[in-house]
Structure 1
Amino acid sequence: MVSVDAAKGTLLGLACGDALGRPVEFRSPTRIAEEHGTLTEMVGNGTHGKPAGTVTDDTDLALCIARSLVEEGAFDGQDIADRFAAWYDDGPFDVGLMTADAISEYQAGISWRDAGREVWQRRAEGSNAGNGSIMRCAPHAIAFADDPSTLDQVSTQSSAITHYDPRCQYGCVILNHTIAGYLRGDDEPLTDAIERVDGDAPDELVETIRLVPNLVDETHLENTGYVVHTLQTSLYDALTADTAEDAITTSVNRGGDTDTLGAVTGAIAGARFGAETLPDRWLDIVEYRDDLELLAKALATNEIDSSFGRMK
């Protein structure tokens, strides 16, 4: 049984982390400290020059997925791709390179199943495994928390729309099963998630994430946009913190890809601690709060078709 409070915490935590990190994206931890001390408040301006509480593509694309799941009543890859394309046509102020390229391929007539692969095959190692699919994948964890096999499939196929690399696809699987475990109240969600993919997922991904529970030197954690780095750092911050707020602020103050570090950490920590633990001062100004709460409740309480019969 999925906790509705934890489901709301997942989506609201994602958005809060995204919005907290947005104004300091690309800044070093030193510069963040110089400007804000420890950044704990949503501030305006900064990177992208937007008002306090504004979210980025991390939350926008998660909303596309959540709305598709609720309105279609199933995972529909083409519908998700259509929503990504409509969002892209609106001219978002922030969009990842691989996401933009894959959406452009889709708009040019390439199938949603193949667009991400086309982009991935053209990119050199080092620029082909970004964190652009793990940042948005959490709605699947809520919808299919009680159906692990389907969660495996939708996690990989949804990632592959824009991020085909196996590290990205299996990164979504690990993340979603960890979140789903917290939604169900499991004891060791990350351990179970790793065991689920061990032997299938890329060794680098598995071995890096396997270090998280026993990591003693966090100075080695990275703040880059590489999917393996983001997943390890966000899992560490979410699993070692005493509160969701502490998890999110720790991740964002690491600098670098702050909006996505905050979003991924927030999704995990929100599932772990629940929506009621998120600070009111964040929730009062974060963009799309009402939509996120309604979608989270719908995903947690409505039966989403897992038959794949409606996939296009």
Structure 2
Amino acid sequence: MTDNRKTLEWLFEKQKIDIKRGRIFDTSPPPMPGVSDFDRVEGMMLGLAIGDALGNTSEGLHPRKRRAMHGEIRDYRYNPRANAHVGLPSDDTQLAFWTLEQMIEDGAFNPEHVARRFCGGRIFGIGATVSEFVRNYSGGKSWYECGTKSAGNGALMRIAPMVIPHLKSVSSDLWVDTVLSAMITHNDSASIASCVAFVNMLWELLGMEAAPQPNWWLEAFVNMARHLESDNSYRSRSSAFKSYRGTLCQFLQENVSEAYGRDISAVEACDSWFSGAYLLETVPSVIYILMKHGSDPEEAIVRAANDTVDNDTIGAIVGAAVGALYGRRRLPERWVSKLPGRTAEADDGRIFEMLSAAKALWG
């Protein structure tokens, strides 16, 4: 039994983790076919960085206001807070690549070391939950006591690299490591379940030879997450769903498929449930965009950047998904070539260095 598995079993025993102990923790994912040239893995991580960079210069704007101010965003915009550079990262890219960086250094996932790494640099656009985690960890709490019960998207946005160390050593430790990684900052049922479900989706996407059918995106997420969610008290912030109370998966099943059946646009659907940083807004937005546009990686990322409020994080998650499916070579070259590759204020090219190091270890 690995140290991480022992830790997770102890957390379950002591009821210190907000998730059910589903059978998935005793089940290995299927062996990974292909990925021989690491292009799909690079696509996953670069798609995440691209989605973040396309969105973060207009994050938080309602899509109508964004369009009125900037037109349709299809390329990086100058960042007025960073000497007018383009393609710069925010917390989505930073925390995802800091996770990868620490795993490269350790040769595997060590939650204590990743927690420490998160507190070791300036986080751009840091959210309230991650800020609270930093205060807790810096104040001397154990890493597993620092995450708060928050259904924000700050764990989901950074979870993609968890698949990488497991590509050649397939076991149920993939789920163990994902859960521990998620709870570092967000010890919440919907958040942890979402992270496991998304990592499972990425694992499957990395091995696919063609885009899945539209319904796959919703079914794959729900079929995994519903066995793990333990909290059925989530409410929607949208007036259109003001009577809703239940799990994240129930919300998805009731509302995403209904919107898709009406064939409404991504912006209309995302506006109906809002598209902010709350998981009952982020996850349906991600899934709906992928259902509508998952066959076109560029359009999927563009829709995330334009049609949602928390567009950098939704763009990062959508970007990771289509990047895993299509690989680096299918991402627009203008986006890849203009990406500085930073994870901090002046470490140009760093994410490309990390991907090369990860390929040497696990490719």
Specify the TM-score bucket, using the shorter chain as the normaliser.
0.7 to 0.9
The residue that corresponds to 1:256 in the other structure is 309
Q: State the shift of 1:81 in Å.
A: 0.7
The residue that corresponds to 2:134 in the other structure is 103
Identity across matched positions, percent: 28
The residue that corresponds to 1:115 in the other structure is 146
The residue that corresponds to 2:164 in the other structure is 142
The residue that corresponds to 1:208 in the other structure is 251
Distance 2:61 2:43 in 1: 27
In the superposition, relative to structure 1, how do residues 296 and 178 fare at CA in structure 2: closer, same or farther (>3 Å)?
Answer: farther
Residues 104-183 of structure 1 correspond to what in structure 2 (within 5 A)?
Answer: 104-116=135-147, 119-120=148-149, 128-145=150-167, 147=170, 149-183=172-206
- Give yes or no for the alignment of 1:184 onto 2:210: no
Corresponding residue SS for 2:307: coil
Distance 1:115 1:144 in 2: 26
Q: State the shift of 1:55 in Å.
A: 0.9
Which of 273, 281, 289 is 1:237 aligned to? 289
Corresponding residue SS for 1:132: coil
Distance 2:59 2:175 in 1: 31
Q: Which runs of 5+ in 1 are unaligned?
A: 121-127, 305-312
- Give yes or no for the alignment of 1:33 onto 2:56: no
- Give yes or no for the alignment of 1:86 onto 2:120: yes
Which AA in structure 1 matches 2:177? Answer: V
Q: State the shift of 1:129 in Å.
A: 1.2
* Higher mean C-alpha deviation, range 274-283 or range 196-205: 196-205
Corresponding residue SS for 1:302: helix
Q: State the shift of 1:189 in Å.
A: 6.9
Name the Cα RMSD after superposition: 2.5
The residue that corresponds to 2:240 in the other structure is none
Q: Is the 8 A contact 2:92 2:158 kept in 1?
A: yes
Q: Is the 8 A contact 2:217 2:287 kept in 1?
A: no
Q: Is the 8 A contact 2:217 2:290 kept in 1?
A: no
Q: State the shift of 1:193 in Å.
A: 4.6
* Higher mean C-alpha deviation, range 14-23 or range 276-285: 276-285
Which protein has greater RCO, CA pairs closer than 8 Å, 6+ apart? 1
Q: Is the 8 A contact 2:285 2:308 kept in 1?
A: no
Q: Which runs of 5+ in 2 are unaligned?
A: 1-32, 233-246, 343-348
The residue that corresponds to 1:268 in the other structure is 321
Q: How many residue pairs align between the two structures?
A: 292
Which AA in structure 2 matches 1:147? Answer: V
**Superposed CA offset, 1:99-150 (max 9, x none):** 011111111110111111xx33xxxxxxx21100111110002333563622
Corresponding residue SS for 1:253: helix
Which AA in structure 1 matches 2:269? Answer: H
Normalised TM-score (structure 2): 0.73
Distance 1:190 1:181 in 2: 14
- Give yes or no for the alignment of 1:15 onto 2:56: no
Q: State the shift of 1:48 in Å.
A: 7.3
The residue that corresponds to 1:309 in the other structure is none
The residue that corresponds to 1:310 in the other structure is none
Q: Is the 8 A contact 2:166 2:174 kept in 1?
A: yes
Which AA in structure 1 matches 2:197? Answer: I
Q: State the shift of 1:200 in Å.
A: 2.5
Distance 2:309 2:327 in 1: 26
Higher-Rg structure is 2
In the superposition, relative to structure 1, how do residues 6 and 134 fare at CA in structure 2: closer, same or farther (>3 Å)?
Answer: same
Distance 1:23 1:12 in 2: 18
Which AA in structure 2 matches 1:110? Answer: K
Q: Is the 8 A contact 1:142 1:296 kept in 2?
A: no
